[in-house]
């Protein structure tokens, strides 16, 4: 009896087999009372296929697969008795022109630790989940997901922290991370962890962005069950999990997807559509149903089987534009003569609607770096239906401004206000990601002008502005304590820096900002609406001071932010306020816990009838160099 039924073949051919990960690949099963593994492979252009592995001594003729009807579908199947979990295997594919290819299983649930490239048999069905409360709570936020706090800690697991003195890489396992990363994230106040490089990949230096195993958690940190344990523990501690996911391209490694069965099976056949010249990678064929089903099945595996709370989709722009990274003659226009990839557009509409419709409260996040319209718009309005878009425009303007000597900031004041002019166009996440602290771009602290403590005070003001600005938040690991060196995947973060008070103070600052963010709905309920934000003074360029209000839906507990970006003290500073109320100081950058002078100052400020910033009422507050003050009223 075939494991891959006629119905399976039909659904796969329509790109609607949403549990394809339970059919293709290697699955432990019983056949006529005999325990073994059933192998199923899609390779329509192969002449013959064998399963070779540790269980048959890698004998290339021992286990030939049978081609199922209809032959044109190209499904090969074989049950091998006695094969056990953990056994290594590959497919030996004989092409129609007589070549022999040794391929890893595209649907494998586990893989040999690199530099090995074999797939490994894994039974992923027996983990006992205990996160029902989290999953139920997540589903209740289907309608108001945008009104929830989202503060993401972006983590590369292999370099967050390592075991010292070990002969191997010293990587923390998924279970080690559950013991150490979860408490850290909880204490700091993040709501979610975003993990880089979980889908299996061969080359450490790609950070996981050149994937060969779209259905396998990387074996660098443990087994599939270990990964499930990590997600389950995150949920038990009220932390969400987001994975980087890369449907834009894949590497040309001999054991991978490229020219899988001797033909361009997963990639576009025309190299002008099927290759990224800059990256040296292949581009998926989004017009082929079986390829779309491969990617859809991968997304659903992570969200539905492994319970992850969202996918951050990498390099979306490279999928949307046929000429992305290409010169004239290196790309082919679509049927209308322009540069839009119509098949990729439909793919996004399909997969986002599907994943979000089947999994209430989950999120799909686009790393999209252009002005493509309606990335987070509904399909009914010709949008792509992502939940959020990374705000790359805000990030570039913010970093351009923060790098400037304070003397020149007055002429660039608009860089920090411009993002509000388009804030309502999408649902945004403000990001300071790994991409900003590599390839000679400097760490965040070393982007800052000045010397010594001025760098830290600059960065503190920048983080406060980011936390107050509309949009969800993402910080890459190490930025919260002002890592000095650029990030490298080859070593752990420089945790020893926390012995230095300046680094400890900035970590305390980020922690305080995150907890204020999580506790105050004014900072996250109305992120995409002018109803949640109001400038007090957006035009104080001469003093490089920004003042604004964040508002909650119910009108209670509004927040007033004042951020100064020069080293000049303003002892006579006065700020206009919207009402004659008492303003409680809830964050003061001059506090001792953040390395300030901790001068005695009132905690409450009553508005007086004194015009300022075009308002009839105001409060006076002595603003320190690079001073930040946040008031609740």
List, by residue number, the catalytic residues.
314, 367
Quickly list H helices, 142-242: 157-160, 174-188, 224-236
Give CA–CA dist 583/580, Å, rounded.
9
Give the C-alpha separation, 564 to 231, whole Å: 40
d(CA 464, CA 231): 30
Please, which residues bridge with residue 629 across strands? 562, 588
Tokens representing 32 are 């006529």
- Residue 215: CA atoms inside 13 Å, Cβ hemisphere, count? 31
How far apart, in whole angstroms, are the C-alpha atoms of residue 448 and residue 379?
41
Task: Give me the helix-helix angle, 6-13 and 289-300, nearest 10°.
Answer: 100
Pairing assessment for the beta strands 151-155 and 472-476 based on DSSP bridges: parallel
Consecutive H or E run containing 287: none
C-alpha 50/C-alpha 65 separation (Å) is: 5
Sign of CA dihedral 531, 536, 540, 545: negative
DSSP 169: -
Residue 92, beta-bridge partner list: 50, 102
Number of C-beta neighbours around residue 381 at 10 A = 9
Contact by Cβ (8 Å): 244, 194: yes
């Amino acid at each position: 009896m075939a494991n891959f039924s006629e119905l399976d073949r039909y659904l796969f051919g329509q790109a609607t087999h949403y549990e394809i990960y339970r059919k293709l690949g290697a699955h432990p099963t019983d056949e006529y009372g005999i325990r073994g593994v059933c192998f199923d492979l899609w390779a329509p252009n192969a002449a013959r296929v064998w399963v070779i592995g540790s269980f048959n001594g890698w004998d290339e003729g021992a286990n030939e697969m049978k081609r199922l009807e209809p032959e044109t579908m190209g499904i090969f199947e074989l049950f091998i008795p006695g094969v056990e979990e953990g056994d290594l295997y590959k497919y030996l594919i004989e092409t129609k022109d007589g070549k022999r290819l040794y391929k890893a299983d595209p649907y494998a649930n586990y893989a040999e630790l690199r530099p090995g490239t074999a797939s490994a048999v894994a039974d992923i069905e027996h983990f006992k989940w205990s996160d029902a409360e989290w999953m139920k709570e997540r589903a209740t936020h289907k309608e108001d997901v945008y009104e929830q706090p989202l503060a993401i800690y972006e983590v590369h697991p292999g370099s967050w922290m390592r075991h010292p003195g070990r002969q191997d890489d010293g990587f923390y396992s998924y279970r080690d991370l559950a013991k150490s990363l979860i408490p850290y994230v909880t204490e700091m106040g993040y709501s979610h962890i975003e993990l880089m490089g979980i889908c299996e990949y061969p080359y450490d230096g790609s950070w996981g962005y050149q994937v060969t195993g779209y259905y396998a958690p990387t074996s660098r940190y443990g087994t599939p069950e270990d990964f499930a344990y990590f997600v389950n523990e995150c949920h038990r501690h009220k932390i969400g999990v987001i994975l980087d996911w890369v449907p834009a391209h894949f590497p040309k490694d001999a054991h991978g997807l490229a020219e899988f069965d001797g033909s361009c099976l997963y990639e576009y056949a025309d190299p002008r559509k099927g290759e990224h010249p800059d990256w040296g990678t292949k581009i998926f064929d989004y017009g082929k149903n079986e390829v779309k089903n491969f990617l859809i099945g991968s997304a659903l595996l992570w969200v539905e089987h492994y319970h992850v709370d969202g996918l951050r989709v990498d390099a979306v722009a490279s999928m949307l534009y046929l000429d992305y990274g290409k010169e004239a003659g290196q790309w082919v226009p679509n049927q209308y003569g322009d540069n839009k990839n119509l098949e990729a557009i439909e793919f996004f509409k399909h997969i986002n609607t599907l994943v979000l419709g089947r999994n209430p409260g989950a999120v799909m996040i686009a790393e999209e770096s252009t002005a493509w319209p309606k990335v987070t718009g509904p399909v009914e309005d010709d949008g792509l239906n992502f939940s959020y878009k990374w705000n790359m425009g805000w990030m570039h303007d913010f970093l351009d401004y923060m790098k400037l000597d304070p003397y020149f900031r007055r002429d660039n004041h608009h860089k920090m206000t411009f993002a509000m002019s388009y804030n309502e166009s999408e649902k945004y996440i403000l990001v300071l990601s790994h991409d900003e602290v590599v390839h000679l771009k400097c760490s965040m602290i070393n982007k800052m002008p000045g010397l010594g403590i001025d760098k830290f005070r600059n960065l503190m003001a920048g983080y406060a502005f980011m936390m107050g600005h509309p949009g969800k938040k993402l910080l890459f690991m190490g930025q919260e304590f002002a890592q000095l060196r650029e990030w490298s995947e080859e070593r752990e973060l420089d945790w020893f820096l926390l012995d230095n008070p300046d680094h400890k103070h900035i970590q305390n600052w980020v922690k305080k900002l995150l907890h204020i963010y999580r506790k105050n709905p004014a900072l996250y309920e109305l992120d995409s609406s002018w109803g949640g934000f109001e400038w007090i003074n957006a035009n104080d360029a001469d003093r490089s001071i920004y003042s604004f209000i964040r508002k909650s839906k119910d009108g209670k507990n509004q927040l007033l932010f004042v951020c100064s970006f020069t080293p000049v003290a303003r002892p006579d500073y006065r700020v206009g306020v919207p009402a004659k109320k008492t303003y409680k100081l809830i964050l003061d950058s001059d506090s001792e816990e953040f390395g300030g002078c901790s001068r005695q100052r009132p905690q409450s400020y009553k508005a007086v009838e004194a015009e300022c910033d075009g308002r009839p009422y105001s409060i006076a507050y002595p603003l320190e160099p690079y001073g930040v003050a946040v008031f609740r009223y």
